[in-house]
Amino acid sequence: MKLNFMSCRRASELAAKQCITALSRGERIWLGMHLLACAACRKIGLQISAIEQTLRLLQEPDATHEATGGPQLSDESRRRIQSVLADRT
């Protein structure tokens, strides 16, 4: 039981589960107690939360493409799509 309480794997699973569905009362208490005791899981939890905040910037990649020099349609596909559109117009 003690080992189970200290399972970082279980804590990281519950944290992910929490993004999908509500945790039971017991699970929330377990996670809270584990985080209270485990500095590594607190650190990783904060890092993952920060990554997820950054991920939302990718909702619209154009917001960042100037900085990243994002990928572009190839000339060939550009010509093909232009041609298909012209046929249907």
Partner 1 sequence: MTIALPEHRPLAMDRTGKAISEGDFFSFALFYGKRHPVKSGRPTCGPNACAASAPSPELWVGQFGDRLYRFALLRVPDRSAAEELVQETFLAALKDRESFRGQCEFATWLVGILKHKLIDHLRKTTRQTSLSETPDETVDEMFNRLGHWRNPPASWAADPAELAIQGEFLATLQVCLAALPEQQRQALILRMIDEEPAEQVCKILNLTPTNLWVRLHRARLRLRLCLENKWFGHPVARPRSGTRKGTAHEA
CB of 80 to partner 1, least distance (A): 7
Q: Is position 26 an interface residue for partner 1 (rule: CB under 8 A)?
A: no
1 binds partner 1 (CB under 8 A): no
Q: Does 51 sit near partner 1 (CB under 8 A)?
A: yes
Shortest distance, position 72 Cβ to partner 1, whole Å: 5
Cα→Cα distances 78→27, 31, 38, Å = 52, 51, 53
Positions in 53-82 near partner 1 (CB under 8 A) = 53-62, 64-74, 77-78, 80-82
DSSP, residue by residue, 10-66: HHHHHHHHTTTSPPPHHHHHHHHHHHHH-HHHHHHHHHHHHHHHHHGGGGSGGGTHH
Note the residues at the interface with partner 1 (CB under 8 A): 3-4, 6-10, 12-22, 28, 31-32, 35-36, 39-62, 64-74, 77-78, 80-82, 84-86, 88-89
